[in-house]
Structure 1
């Protein structure tokens, strides 16, 4: 009986926080701009070097301050066109970066999912890590055919799939929580 009461209370509390956060305007500034996107060949393979330009508005910053973790996902595809058959998808990957705030330590944490986490004293330092992520190994050496030209398709978005369920329902219905870039395409000649 006590567990059921506590569980019901926790759900009501979470729903109240979600409603309060959704009530605050969370309008994204102008979306995400991809300001740099290049592929660099190295000894270990091919790395994506990117830079993004975007701001989180007051509502999204407030959500982070209240314990909501925001996730930013980058998708990349490398396709090799073929005239005699369907295009070959050489690379199709996603990488997600999470930003969170710890009230006890008063630090922001940025984590590349499945990899490393760094802590920062200020919000701006943490956002710099998201806007200028580390070079990402997208293909090992030998995966791409040297001399062949690949069409690269890239985009970044705030991934609402990672939000807690009560927030997720409201975020999918609220256009203010849609922060995304246009798909950027360019050609890359493999080395």
Structure 2
């Protein structure tokens, strides 16, 4: 009898550990994951001409990133939206995807900040077709980066068909666009990490 009591007692930590691991796993499959950023608002709207997303991402740049910006190094941000259609018989199908590329740079001659926004990647060699806006301060331009207003992420035809639709939204600082020498020093450094992700049941959200 004493042996049985000791055995059950020793099993308690293992059971608690199992419960803790399961809780962590459930947390990883939750609706949101963030690093150095917070998704303060996320709203989707379905209209006759497509699906639109509005969001606000709150984050604060580290002193290292601010110093790089003031030295004339452009910093890139990327917003990604992906609509998936669930299929019980196979892998989920990608119904639609959209990207929003943003480039923040300081203009020494005018002492102003420029934000270029495009649906295509922005490279230093050429900004291509992009919307350019100027701001008087770093705070103002970052506030503009943090707000995404009525961004079209899917066409009406892409949302047709049966089945549940899921939305994956991600916002991040794109370190791959930094100068090569700076990339080597910034890889894995928390000062250069700005990332937030959320997944929502789009069918349920639009059905409210």
Partner of residue 129 from structure 1, selected from 135, 141, 144: 144
Other-structure match for 1:187: 201
Q: Aligned residue for 2:55? A: 50
Unaligned 5+ runs, structure 1: 1-29
Mapping 1:1-191, distance limit 5 Å: 31-113=36-118, 114-145=129-160, 148-181=163-196, 183-189=197-203
Give the alignment's TM-score, normalised by structure 1. 0.77
CA distance in 1, matches of 2:48, 2:170: 26
Aligned residues: 161
The answer as to whether partners of 2:105 and 2:115 remain within 8 angstroms in 1 is yes
How many Å separate the matches in 2 of 1:147 and 1:62? Answer: 50
Structure 1 runs (4+) deviating above 6 angstroms are none
TM-score normalised by structure 2 residue count: 0.71
Superposed displacement of residue 140, structure 1: 1.6
Question: Post-superposition shift, 1:133?
Answer: 2.4
Distance 1:94 1:109 in 2: 20
Q: CA RMSD in A?
A: 1.9
Secondary structure of residue in 2 paired with 1:91 = strand
TM superposition shift of 1:97 = 0.9
Q: Structure 2: any 5+ residue segments left out of the alignment?
A: 1-34, 119-128
Q: Deviations over 1:42-81 (max 9, x none)?
A: 2321111111010112221111110011111112221111
Deviation, structure 1 residue 148: 4.7
